[in-house]
Amino acid sequence: MISSSLKSDVRPVVSLIIPMLNERDGLQVLFERVARVIKDIPMDWELVVVDDGSTDGTRDAVAAELKRFPKWRLIFLSRNFGQQPAYRAGIDQASGDVLIFLDADLQDPPEMIPQMLEKWREGFKVVTGCRVSREERGIRRIFFDLFHKTFHRMTGRIMPVNSGTFALIDRVVANQLAAARETNLFLPALKCWYGYTQTTVQYARKDRIIGEPKQSFRKLFRYALDGLFSFSDLPLQWIAGTGAIICALSFAYAGILFIEKILQIFGFFSQLRVLGFTTLAVAVFFFGGLNLLALGIIGQYIARIYREIKGRPLYVVESVKTSEMKEN
């Protein structure tokens, strides 16, 4: 066993975690850039690559690429579980004193890593990459902007504005994440939620250079909802608030009708005013829709409770290869 005094002389280990789903075509560029960055940083590097059920040959290609690094760990999940579970698998397997999350598509530049490590040496436990600009356009861009605005309004700024998964965390935060039992994982906010000293580094986010985004629009939408619903119960309060307002309005309207009826009894109106069919139809559709919407929102929370309560594993590891033992 290494004594603690000896251990303090040992260089810190940095685990670079990269999840992958069908990223074969970009592997060479990715690892070239990563190798160039870590070459000049005198720390012990460990690459933790998680293959999230790739079917395009990434599995073999990545094993070959990793051989150029002295220390690595390659985790094969049994199927595609999604980006967040893949990152979580990496966190659980990483041995570093400091962990860095990097997407395989180079949208977030590995060249920012030295700056992030500098902040870590200054004592920050969480360093988040913040996008000063984005190259993405179209519907994805609109969706990203809308999500970030809504998320910050609803969650009271748990995570820095315009940030994502690209970040560095200290071992203390990694231990917290590894102990988290959440199935609806939203790491960009969760890693900040624990507290500890935090800071940001700014960078310009590129578009993907190779391949299509692996987070399909449906996956992204679900990911956004996971973020919103696991960090805010504001939608439930909106339902209660809307219900209260509608109740108040209908009481007021009932009061008006009551007064009208009294006035009619005392002969102020010769005949009762009858409301039109259109008003009635609109009201029925509106409140029917509102009810369904409210049920849908409650359903979102229930579905998440259901997922949590089942207690299924977040991911399943099929096999692990490491630089030391090659296979186990």
Q: Which of 105, 110, 125, 191 binds ligand UDP (CB under 6 A)?
A: 105
Strand pairing report for 98-101 and 163-170: antiparallel
Q: Which of 14, 34, 75, 80 binds ligand UDP (CB under 6 A)?
A: 80
The reply on whether position 105 binds Mg ion by CB under 5 A is yes
Residue 17 binds: one of Mg ion, ligand UDP, none (C-beta under 5 to 8 A by kind): none
DSSP letter at 206 equals P
The tokens describing 39, both together, are 């070459």
Query: Which residues 110-169 are close enough to bind ligand UDP by CB under 6 A?
Result: none
The reply on whether position 107 binds Mg ion by CB under 5 A is yes
Q: Which residues contact 289 (CB under 8 A, 6 or more apart)?
A: none
- Buried/exposed 282-297: b ≥16 CB within 10 Å, e otherwise: eeeeeeeeeeeebeee
Residue 5: half-sphere exposure toward Cβ, Cα within 13 Å: 0
Q: Which of 45, 49, 72, 83 binds ligand UDP (CB under 6 A)?
A: 83
Choose among 284, 283, 293: nearest CA to 239: 293
Q: Which of 115, 150, 155, 215 binds ligand UDP (CB under 6 A)?
A: 215
Residue 83 binds: one of Mg ion, ligand UDP, none (C-beta under 5 to 8 A by kind): ligand UDP
- Contact predicate 21/85, CB 8 Å: no
The nearer residue to Mg ion, 107 or 198, going by C-beta atoms, is 107
The nearer residue to ligand UDP, 25 or 182, going by C-beta atoms, is 25
How far is residue 93 from each of residues 74, 123, 321, measured CA to CA in Å? 10, 24, 11
Please state the closest distance from residue 106 (CB atom) to ligand UDP, in A.
9
Query: Which residues 222-251 are close enough to bind ligand UDP by CB under 6 A?
Result: none
Span of 34-42, 210-218, 240-248, 257-265 interacting with ligand UDP by CB under 6 A: 210-218
The tokens describing 131, both together, are 């996008």
List 163's β-bridge partners, or say none.
130
- Per CB under 6 A, residues contacting ligand UDP are 19-21, 23, 52, 80, 82-83, 86, 103-105, 107, 213-215
